[in-house]
Structure formats: C-alpha cells, structure tokens
Amino acid sequence: DTGVSQNPRHKITKRGQNVTFRCDPISEHNRLYWYRQTLGQGPEFLTYFQNEAQLEKSRLLSDRFSAERPKGSFSTLEIQRTEQGDSAMYLCASSLPRTKTDGELFFGEGSRLTVL
C-alpha cells in the first residue's frame, strides 16, 4: 500500500538556513495540498495543486515559502531564511479529482521542522 510519503520526517536547522520538504502523493491522486500544524492547533491550509498547477496560496505562505509540483507528481515545499516561527509540522495530503471524490484527504505522516 503506497500512501502519501513525506521526507524528511524531522529537520532541525538553524535560523536563516533554507529547508526543503518533499511529498509523494498517492499515484492516482491529481490534487495535492500542503498544510501546517502547530502545537495545539489544527492543520492550516497553505497551498493546493491540481496536477502541476498551483491554484491557491494562503496568506500564511509568505514570500519565503515556495511550493512546486513540476510534473504533477511529487511536490516540494521550500522555506528560505527560516525563522523560529516556522517551527511546525508540515503536512502533505492528496485526493482524487473533484468528480471522483467527496473531498476526503489522504495525509502523510508529516515533516517536523525545528528552527533553532
């Protein structure tokens, strides 16, 4: 069973460094989402891809954040010049096309970022 895969699972970095997370969605899912989860909060929507097109970005996604899905398969989320406030769990989810789903999301286990 190949679910949503994220790596690295944990990343510790110093403030000011760049980090990149990768997400491999379920193969037949054309929609891919990034969420951020901080302690005591639910997942917050960051951005969404349909195939390779990035269709929406949250205001939470500052200019230091960039996400790509170049071939409509895996996606990367890069954070430049990390700040301590970026420390969080970054969640990736995928789903079937709109015509084939009621909106169920399939989540990876997340990538935990700690910025020192």
User: How many whole angstroms separate alpha carbon 24 and alpha carbon 37?
Assistant: 19
| Binding of residue 98 to another protein (CB under 8 A) | yes
| Binding of residue 25 to another protein (CB under 8 A) | no
Q: Least CB distance from residue 56 to another protein, whole Å?
A: 7
| Binding of residue 52 to another protein (CB under 8 A) | no
| Binding of residue 74 to another protein (CB under 8 A) | no
Paired with 45 in beta bridges are 35
Span from 14-22, 39-47, 62-70, 79-87 in contact with another protein (CB under 8 A) = 39-47
CB crowding 7-46: b at 16 or more within 10 Å, else e: eeeebebeeeeebebebbbbeebbbbbbbbeeeeeebeeb
Q: Least CB distance from residue 34 to another protein, whole Å?
A: 12
User: How many whole angstroms separate alpha carbon 72 and alpha carbon 66?
Assistant: 16
* Nearest residue to 45 via CA among 97, 93, 99, 80: 93
Q: Given candidates 17, 18, 41, 51, which one binds another protein under the rule CB under 8 A? A: 41
DSSP letter at 86 equals G
| Binding of residue 60 to another protein (CB under 8 A) | no
**Which residues would be at the binding site for another protein (CB under 8 A)?**
3-4, 31, 33, 35, 40-45, 48, 50, 55-56, 91, 93, 98, 101-105, 107-110
